[in-house]
Amino acid sequence: MEKEKIIDTYQLNVNDIVVDVSIKLKEDEPVPTYNIFITNISDVTRIILEKIRDEFVSEGTKKLTEEDSTSNIQEQFKEGILKLLAKYFPDADRKTMDMLINYILQQNIGFGNLDILLNDANLEEIVINNAKEPVWVYHRRFGWLKTNILIPNESRIRHYSTIIGRDVGKEITILNPLMDAHLKTGDRVNATLSPISSKGNTITIRKFAVKPWTITAFLKEKTISYEGAALIWLAVQHEMSIIVTGGTASGKTSMLNVIANFFPPNQRIISIEDTREVMLPKILHWVPLETRLANPEGKGGIQMLDLIVNSLRMRPDRILVGEIRRRAEAEVLFEAMHTGHSVYGTLHANNARETITRLTSPPIDLPKQILPAISLIVVQHINRKNGRRRTLQIAEMLPNGDPRVLMQHNPIKDSLDIINEPLAILETLNLYTGLSKSEIYADMQSKIAVLKWMVSKNVSDVNNIGLIMSKYYLNKPLTKIGGV
């Protein structure tokens, strides 16, 4: 008999549908499996619900037209199904009726069991490779897992892609078999159609973090050290620009969120992203902007460059950019840095030195002499074996455009070690604030004390952290470095 080990179990509640989740490792399986089981709907009830669904489809949908929106269809579904539920479950109370309606809607108008996965905060990615394989998920703690969920056929996968695209004004067809979109919840979606994806139609969903990462969560998870966090805070307080780099899924956007924890409430912040992922404290003076793809006729598109140029007319103090990709975008951002704006953005690069190579090579291709406008490079890394995300390096930018690594992750000790004393940062702070080296280090120690206090008090809500930072800045006036 095949042995299996239960790694973890927990429960989800999705619109009153109770779901047991179990993660198991079978002896002969290379990866663990993620299993869902709906506990408050019996097999008999499921059969009756299927009968109700068939009965409704044969009668109720005759009234529907192609012009009906998803919400109109759902309302007609609810109205018709409620009558049939009353017929088959005459003794059910209102709460049970609502739960049964939600289940039928989920299975027939929604995304079926994918809706359950979308409601599991432990999952980062949901992947459909084709109708023959089970759905895969990327779990925060356990990495890639196979699920016990199968999509019945390729047309159902294509149907899901069409629904997602329609809700955001996009389409996926044989002529346009690739689609980038997002759900109303903010989750990012990529879809492909066969034969471009030769094994079948695919959907990849990167889930939006409902609860954004905070500096206290990073410290608890050992993603960054207290010294590293204090150095970043020091740079943010004095309006130094920071670039966050790393590979795919290394936590670049999460680190951008963490950096934003240190923003003061009396400055205007403009964020620019393809799909909104950063979540800033409510007390901040924050304007989020998003790009938009052109419609099928090629009209109405808003590019990253359009928004960056426009943001400079909005009197920003700080500009957050989801990802720097092209030269034109980078040139405008560096011009913003040189005219006194603080810029924070992400870039794909695996270490500090590679960051310089990426910035000075096509397609970005900036001259090296303008790079010192960046004060810090923060490099994020994910260990694919255990799923741990860590700050790999924190480097300052020297006046000649070379990086100087100040802190580096030690994989043996799992610690962020100090390997060099800052030079450019200390010199810049001394020039513009008059602070001596000992005063700067004393200030960093006071920041470490505040961070340790927040962790000890379990201050994890982004809005509460924003309030604490606001109080901190009332006693510690901001000093602007350079610019006008």
User: What are the residue boundaries of the structural domains of the chain, listed by start?
Assistant: 215-475
Q: What would the mean pLDDT of 310-315 be, rounded to a whole number?
A: 95
Q: What would the mean pLDDT of 51-58 be, rounded to a whole number?
A: 69
Q: What is the pLDDT of residue 73?
A: 59
pLDDT above 50 (res 82): yes
pLDDT band at 310 (very low <50, low <70, confident <90, very high): very high
pLDDT band at 300 (very low <50, low <70, confident <90, very high): confident
pLDDT band at 27 (very low <50, low <70, confident <90, very high): confident
Q: What is the pLDDT of residue 374?
A: 97
pLDDT above 70 (res 65): no
Cα gap 349→336, rounded to integer Å: 22
Query: Shortest CA distance to 376 belongs to which of 225, 236, 251, 242?
Result: 242
The number of CA neighbours under 13 Å toward the Cβ of 446 is 11
Domain 215-475, CATH: 3.40.50.300
Residue 148 CB partners (closer than 8 Å, separation 6+)? 33, 34, 35, 36, 134
pLDDT band at 75 (very low <50, low <70, confident <90, very high): low
Instruction: Tell me how far the alpha carbon of residue 131 is from its chain's centroid.
Output: 27
Q: What is the pLDDT of residue 229?
A: 98
Strand pairing category for 285-290 and 188-192: unpaired
What's the chain's length in residues? 484
Cα gap 474→476, rounded to integer Å: 6
**What is the average pLDDT score of the chain?**
89
Lowest pLDDT segment from 2-6, 129-133, 320-324, 467-471: 2-6
Alpha helices in 238-347 (DSSP H): 252-260, 304-311, 327-338
Cα gap 254→269, rounded to integer Å: 17
Q: What is the pLDDT of residue 62?
A: 46
Tens-digit pLDDT profile for residues 219-248? 999 999 999 999 999 999 999 999 999 998
The overall pTM is greater than 0.75: yes
Tens-digit pLDDT profile for residues 86-143? 777 877 777 777 777 777 777 766 788 899 999 999 999 999 999 999 999 999 889 8
Q: What would the mean pLDDT of 53-77 be, rounded to a whole number?
A: 56
Cα 308-341-443 angle, rounded to 5 deg:
135
